Amino acid sequence: MLQFLTNELLWWHWIIFGFILLILEIFTGTFIILGLGLGAIIVGVIDIILILSLNSKLLLWIIFSLIFITILFKFLKKTKQDSSGQSNYAIGVKGVVEEPIDAYGRGKVKFNQPILGNTIWHATAKEDIPILSNVRVVDVKGNLIEVKKYKKRI
């Protein structure tokens, strides 16, 4: 069997195998098969120029596949989100207390810019915050935000 593969596995077999893998990638979307397919096509092109043994072709296929997979994952990976998912952009936004907040109680805060579509939010704090105090968002927990008092700098 190994003798058969060594004698009968030609350059165009590698290229067709690579294109089959690229077509399979359409149905999986993992980018791993894409790297394997690109590696096989490169081996086929190199085999046109240089006549290689089966071991050399397999070694080159592994090397090129790993290179392509590494490049694909490096440039196409998702950015990491810190902690609160879609609400991360709201942390640090400043607002004004509309309804006083008791320590570990609830009140209301109004923001100049909408946060997830609303300008007024129920808020909690670790300290008492009187009405019309300036606050900033320190955490988002579902439909409730945690705020902290801050002083405006003139």
Hey, how many other C-beta atoms are within 10 angstroms of the C-beta on 41? 20
What domains can be seen in the chain, in order of their start residue? 2-76 (no CATH), 85-149 (2.40.50.140)
Which residue has 């359409």 as its token pair? 26
Longest CA–CA separation in the chain, Å: 85
Q: Up-side HSE of residue 23: CA atoms within 13 Å toward CB?
A: 6
Output the six-digit token pair for 63.
């090397």
Q: Return the pLDDT at 5.
A: 66
Residue 87: per-residue pLDDT: 47
- pLDDT score for 83: 47
The H or E element that residue 38 is part of is: helix 32-49
Mean pLDDT by 10 residues, the chain (154 residues): 72 93 89 92 94 91 95 76 52 90 92 82 92 90 86 67
Residues whose CB is less than 8 angstroms from the CB of residue 144 and which lie 6 or more positions away in sequence, other chains included: 106, 121, 122, 123, 124
Question: In terms of pTM, does the model score above 0.85?
Answer: no
